[in-house]
Amino acid sequence: KFNFCAGPAALPEAVLLQAQQELLDWGGRGCSVMEVSHRSPEFVEVAERAEQDLRDLLSIPHSYRVLFLQGGATGQFSAVPWNLFGAGDGREKRVADYIHTGQWADKAIREARRYGQVNVVASSEDRNFTYAPAADSWQQSKDAAYFHYTPNETIGGVEFDYVPEVSCPLVADMSSNILSQPIPVEKFGMIYAGAQKNIGPSGIAVAIVRDDLLDRAMDGIPRSLSWKVAADAGSMDNTPPTFAWYLSGLVFQWLKEQGGVEAMAKLAGRKSALLYDFIDRSGFYSSPVEKGSRSRMNVPFVLADERLDKEFLQQAEEMGLLNLKGHRSVGGMRASLYNAVPLQAVEALVAFMADFEQRHG
């Protein structure tokens, strides 16, 4: 069976098998990784190795801190303004630029508005969030504390194929496309991602923060949202989600064995091209997203007659093609093609779609 869920999403089978093997007797200790102190040398080793592997995978420079946090990506929607709206010297700078590309950007914007002024520099709302706005028409604020965007909108299936050039710290919600390609980390001030797509299970989020941004928090920042507190404590100011951290570490090791993010980029290109090419050739299926902005991770598509949706989903399930239903807010279908989804899954999906079209088209 193949799992196309948008998140929590498929994890590499080899990782799940290893976790299963180690569940009751982790490395001969007679207990599971969930049952030891986060401060024990054996867990600290797991935590440090995970961080180092992530650093290696994304070539993260030494001037950046890697944090493993709770509260998901949604927690970071609040943490970003809390940590960056203070100037560090008592003078707050509560203005930020945001790009509005769909539901996740929207949530980030709404949260930031609770703490300061948000300048929406570009929006794709005019065409129902079906494209990534080009950089030429932006009016950046002169004094923004940071610039936020969502490189991949998981629900709309829209992905930026470029990194914005901005004059203040660039902040990115990479929840649904992190580790799917090399990224120039040094162009970013801060990157965050909920784990439950390309990193590991839900319950943990990764933040990559440039050192000099650790001192810009607003007065009164809740302790649990402070990047500085987390950085100073090695992400262990309080008990971290140890199992999620351990499993994420296994995923990082698996990614290295697969050839790293370069190999993932190639694979993502092949998988998504196979599906988009098929959709574009067909008169029965269509993609609502403009070419050039189509996500390599989340592929929404619609059938010519939506009355067939239910039958399509039912037969797909029977064929072992799971979780293809589109997000409740947009309908239609969505195939999520994260790193752990093999090429064979997309081949099987395309074969099924062709057969369904032949019977109903």
Residues marked active site are found at 104, 173, 197
3-state secondary structure of 192: strand
- 242 assigned ligand-binding residue: no
CB 156 within 8 A of CB 294: no
User: Distance of alpha carbon 113 from its chain centroid, rounded?
Assistant: 22
Q: Is 175 in the site for ligand PLP (CB under 6 A)?
A: yes
CB 101 within 8 A of CB 153: yes
Alpha carbons 203 and 105: distance in angstroms, whole number: 21
Q: Is 323 in the site for ligand PLP (CB under 6 A)?
A: no
Contact with ligand PLP (CB under 6 A) among 53, 97, 111, 173: 173
Alpha carbons 197 and 176: distance in angstroms, whole number: 6
User: Do the strands 64-69 and 205-210 form a parallel or antiparallel pair, or are they unpaired?
Assistant: antiparallel
- 138 assigned ligand-binding residue: no
> Smallest distance from the beta carbon of 199 to ligand PLP, in angstroms?
10
Q: Is 74 in the site for ligand PLP (CB under 6 A)?
A: yes
Distance set, CA 130 to CA 104, 121, 236 (Å): 14, 17, 40
- 73 assigned ligand-binding residue: yes
Residues 103-125 as b/e (b if ≥16 CB within 10 A, e otherwise) read bbbbebbebbeebbebeebbbbe
Judged by beta carbon, residue 72 or residue 189, the one nearer ligand PLP is: 72
Q: Which stretch binds ligand PLP (CB under 6 A): 127-135, 170-178, 261-269, 309-317?
A: 170-178
Judged by beta carbon, residue 38 or residue 327, the one nearer ligand PLP is: 327
* Interaction pattern, residues 112-151, with ligand PLP; x per rule: CB under 6 A: --------------------------------------x-
Distance set, CA 53 to CA 13, 71, 293 (Å): 19, 23, 30
Judged by beta carbon, residue 7 or residue 260, the one nearer ligand PLP is: 7
Q: Is 194 in the site for ligand PLP (CB under 6 A)?
A: yes
In the complex, the residues that contact ligand PLP under the rule CB under 6 A are 7, 72-74, 104, 150, 154, 173, 175-176, 194, 205
